[in-house]
Chains A and B, each alone.
Chain A
Amino acid sequence: MKMNFKTMKKLVPLLFLLFLLASCGTVKEYEKVYISDPDMKLAAYQNERFETNFQVYREGAAGANGGKTGGGCGCN
């Protein structure tokens, strides 16, 4: 698969800034039915922790996923 990462690298931070700025209103607690769904959680599934472990060993990059950032193992 070939992906244009240079363009993505420039666009992603901009998109997120736009999203954050666009959120002028708030969603009330009683309107959070969909947001509160377990699949909507902004974190990896618990059963992905073992995959994250082997990815930390087999890949050079780690972190920015709310979990392990480095250290605690004889890995990269």
Chain B
Amino acid sequence: MLAITVVFSAWAQVQDSTQTYKKRVLENTEVDMLMSLYSQDGDHSAVGGGVGTENLQDITPTIVVSIPLNDDDVLTIDVGISAYTSASSSNINPFNNTGASRGGDDEHEEEDDDNHFTGTSNGQPTGTPWLASSGASRSDVLVSGHVDYSHSSDDRNFIWGTNVSLSNEYDYTSFGFGGNVTRLFNDKNTELGLKGMVYLDTWRPIYPTELHEYNLYGNDFLSKGYFEGVDVINQSGTVSTDYLPSGFNAISKRARNSYSASFFLSQILSKRLQAAIFFDVVRQEGLLSTPYHRIYFADKNNYYIGDAGCIPVYTSPQNKGVYQLADDIERLPSSRMKLPIGARLNYYLNETFVLRTYYRYYTDDWGLKAHTVNVDLPIRLSQRFSITPSYRYYTQNAVKYYAPYETHLSTEQYYTSDPDLAKFNSNQYSVALNYNDLFNDFHISKLLLKSANLRYSHYDRSDGLKANIVSVGFKFIIQ
């Protein structure tokens, strides 16, 4: 009897020790304050049918708050604003005066600044794909929010989560939701995860001005509305009434839905080496083209509004005053299947260096194939400071519906001159400075600083697009 009692009490103690101790998934509420400044420029604007400035600036402040609801559950709220100005999208309406409101001055030209042209030519409106117009589409604000909930089992070997997201800008609204499960086993050496995501998005199409007016007024649109009293000129610079984009049809189906299933497997390979593989299956349906990307057909005559003297130099930045009227907008299939597969391999070299590597192969049924290679080398300078140089190489071929400016034929079913879908490769060079406040020395009221980082990247694309981005982040914990 005594022996049974001893055994039973010992077993009960073992049970108590495993049942009572459970490390919280997240000890304290964490607040991440992030900000990025992005700037780019290039010469192949999709709004200009593959010609024109791609100048764009964007500022994105973001805040992420992770709240431990209890020992097992975490709620994460992510809210961001992206405010951008874009010379390219300003040229959805590239004309700075309407026919009805044009001035009567002779040869009146003025420039607000080097990047913004408000010209007229003999009282006629002008435009150019090489400078921003003063159109309403020049700037916009994207607001986005994401809420994520996760629950971990008592032994922390099983995690499930769910999320919902919402974003909105002037011409696009997105609603998304999804779920995920993660299983750890083999003494948490192996991790297997599955994630599903659905986005139900809606376009509110904005068309290039000339096509918008044609859709509104029909065949005699050049004598009404925006183009009333405006001279349309042909390739020779002679006034013509022959411009008629009869191939253009307004978009009736405006939904864009995306469905994705993601799988990942990670494995600790040794005390210093671990790897992961990621695989997604993505299907998109609906309006997959961009409604304001112009197309110019090689088998159609060219028509312009503006200064005829600029027609010979139309495709160069010397063009200060003429804009070519579109034959149609970009048309792409209403479905797309994407299959990216990626892998990470990280190796802890020593107390100073860690090697992080990433590779991705991508293919889809639009004919795009791409490779991505990324290498990071965090260097520990001290207990608090580290610096991380990084390099990323990317290469893709063109989708089968791509052709440059003035190359597509009107007999084709699908066509785009978007340089983002063309053949190119890119190099990205980055450096990040990281600071870990080990003892939370710095604080603002109850916000204790945990870490801070500053990152700069330069992006170079083989077609001439260049971009720079600076991002800064602060992680606080709430005591």
Binding site for B on A (CB under 8 A): 1, 3, 5, 8-9, 12, 16, 19-20, 22-23, 26-29, 31-35, 37, 39-51, 53-55, 57-66, 69-74, 76
A72 contacts which chain B residues (CB < 8 A)? 165, 167, 174, 176, 199, 201, 258
- Establish whether residues A46 and B32, one from each chain, have CB atoms under 8 Å apart when the complex forms: yes
DSSP class of A's interface residues: helix, strand, loop or mixed?
loop
Q: Given the interface contacts A22-B269, A47-B471, A72-B165, does A61 sit within 8 Å of B256 by beta carbon?
A: no
> How far, in angstroms, from A29 to B371 measured CA to CA in the complex?
36
Which residues, 353 to 407 on B, are CB-close (under 8 Å) to A?
354, 356, 358-362, 364, 368, 370-373, 376, 378, 386, 388, 393-396, 399
With both beta carbons as reference points, the residue of chain A lying nearest to B269 in the complex is identified as: A23
Is there contact, CB below 8 Å, between A62 and B432? no
Residues of A within 8 A of B432 (CB): 45, 47
Contact B280 A69 (CB under 8 A): yes
Q: How far is the CB of B468 from chain A (nearest CB, A)?
A: 11
Q: Assess whether A71 is in contact with B176, with CB atoms less than 8 Å apart.
A: yes
| Cβ A61 vs Cβ B38 within 8 A | no
Write the nearest CB–CB distance from B340 to chain A, whole angstroms.
Answer: 4
Residues from chain B with a CB closer than 8 A to the CB of A69 are: 197, 258, 260, 262, 280, 282, 338, 340
Interface status of B469 (Cβ within 8 A of chain A)? yes
In the complex, chain A residues whose CB is within 8 Å of the CB of B212: none
Cβ-defined contact, B174 with A70, below 8 A: no
| CB atoms of B274 and A42 under 8 A apart | yes
How far in angstroms is the closest Cβ of chain B from A71?
Answer: 3
Q: A50-B36, A50-B469 are in contact. Are A61 and B372 (CB under 8 A)?
A: yes
Determine whether B203 belongs to the interface, using a CB cutoff of 8 Å to chain A: yes
A43 and B2 alpha carbons, distance in the complex (Å): 55
Interface string of B268-292 (1 = CB under 8 A from A): 1111101111111010100000100
Interface-centre pick from A3, A16, A34 (highest chain B CB count, 10 A): A34
- Please state if A27 and B38 are interface contacts (CB–CB under 8 Å): no
A29 and B187 CA atoms in complex are apart in Å by 8
CB pair B264 A66 closer than 8 Å? yes
Contact A70 B290 (CB under 8 A): no
The verdict on B344 contacting chain A, using a C-beta distance below 8 Å, is yes
The reply to whether B278 and A47 contact each other, CB–CB distance below 8 Å, is no
Residues of B with C-beta under 8 A to A55: 394
Partner of B469, one of A23, A51, A61, A74: A51
- Interchain CA distance A43-B36 in the complex, whole Å: 20
B343 within 8 A of A: yes
Pair A42/B266 contact, Cβ less than 8 Å: yes
Complex Cα distance, B473 from A63, in Å, reads 23
Interface centre among B171, B341, B420, B472 (most CB of A within 10 A): B420
Q: Are A34 and B280 touching (Cβ within 8 A)?
A: no
The docked-state distance in angstroms from the alpha carbon of A50 to that of B59 is 10
26 A–B contacts from the bound complex (CB under 8 Å): A23-B269, A26-B189, A35-B268, A37-B354, A39-B388, A40-B346, A46-B32, A47-B34, A50-B471, A51-B469, A51-B471, A54-B459, A58-B465, A59-B396, A60-B370, A61-B370, A61-B396, A63-B260, A63-B360, A64-B341, A64-B362, A69-B282, A71-B174, A71-B198, A71-B284, A72-B201
